[in-house]
Amino acid sequence: MEKPNNYYKIDSKTSVFSLNLKEVWHYRDLLQMFVKRDFITFYKQTILGPLWFIVQPLLTTLIFIILFGNIAKLSTDGIPQVLFYLSGITIWNYFSESLTKTSTVFKDNANMFGKVYFPRLIMPLAIVSSSLMKFLVQFGIFIVVLLYYVIFTDSIKPNIWILFTPFLIFLMAIFALGMGMIFSSLTTKYKDLIFLLTFGIQLFMYITPVVYPISSLPDNFKFLAVINPLSPLFECFRYAYLGTGSFSVESILISSVIIFIILIAGTVIFNRVEKTFMDTV
């Protein structure tokens, strides 16, 4: 019997190192549907709806100004507090949300995975993509506040490094994707890890320069900035838009290598687990 022109072969014997991007592209319409679903339905039954995209970072910034700026009196390297904290919150929200949601992708979609075939990578990619749309809204708020200070004051001077913003966001996206795939794969068997991750993300924020600059760390704690691949990304982002930060090209390259290693590890573990996870979920 002659095979139809649109015949598509489903082969489970794929390399554990493969992201199967060709197959993901074949299912790109499904990916777009999941992105739209995640972006729209999450706030569909809330009172403020998508306005939470705007309210949440502004409220968090206000709380950080009160707690860390006025009570703890943490340094912001001379940058206005609202800009300093808003810059950190904007990019941290993207990373933490992508990681948190990706880490439960097997558990949250077990029913769907058991009924129909599609590349399992579609789900974590949809989460990272829908979180990116939320990030763009919050990034727009940051740009509006930034423009106010650039136009009406001379304390803020963005520089050419802003051109590297897509690369920085890309690194955070694949870092969250890699870590999320690792935790998602492990939690199919070890359910307690999801509670550890929730607690760990909260701690991770405090060893990442979200509410403080690296320059304010005591010398015996600066090793935290060295071993954390997110630290150079946050410092580079602030340097690009606010004109202050402690980073180097070498630190960005080292972070990139670490992040790509984590992505590869996540891909290997994810590809191994996706074929048998229905037995343990």
Q: Tell me the two tokens of residue 25.
A: 């592209």
Lowest mean pLDDT among 26-35, 87-96, 262-271: 26-35
Q: Looking at residue 92, what is its pLDDT?
A: 96
222 assigned to some structural domain? yes
For residue 98, the one-letter residue type is S
Q: What is the mean pLDDT of the chain?
A: 84
Residue 4 domain flag = no
**What amino acid occupies position 44?**
K
**For residue 44, is pLDDT > 70?**
no
Helical H runs in the chain? 21-26, 28-41, 52-64, 81-102, 105-108, 110-113, 122-152, 165-187, 193-206, 223-227, 231-242, 249-273
Whether residue 40 is contained in a domain is answered as: no
pTM: 0.85
**Domain count across the chain:** 1
What pLDDT score was predicted for residue 211? 93
> Does 10 reside within a domain?
no
Residue 182 pLDDT > 50: yes
* 137, pLDDT greater than 60: yes
pLDDT confidence of residue 205? 92
pLDDT at 7 over 50: no
Q: How confident is the model at residue 231 (pLDDT cuts 50, 70, 90)?
A: very high
pLDDT higher than threshold 60 for residue 11: no
Residue given tokens 């979609």 in the structure block: 109
SS3 category, 161: helix
Domain contains 141: yes
pLDDT at res. 17:
55
Q: What pLDDT is attached to residue 141? A: 93
Mean pLDDT in residue range 15-43: 72
Task: Please report whether residue 15 resides in a domain.
Answer: no
Residue 48 has pLDDT above 90, yes or no: no
pLDDT in tens, 79-132: 999 999 999 999 999 999 999 988 888 777 777 776 777 777 888 888 898 889
Closest CA to 90 of 164, 140, 124: 140
Under a CB-based contact definition with an 8 Å cutoff, are residues 131 and 79 in contact?
Answer: no
Assess if residue 256 is contained within a domain: yes
Domain containing 176: what range?
A: 48-279
Residue 240 · residue 164 · CB < 8 Å: yes
In a domain, 39, yes or no: no
Report, as an integer, the average pLDDT of 237-250.
90
Q: pLDDT-derived band of residue 194, with 50, 70 and 90 as boundaries? A: confident
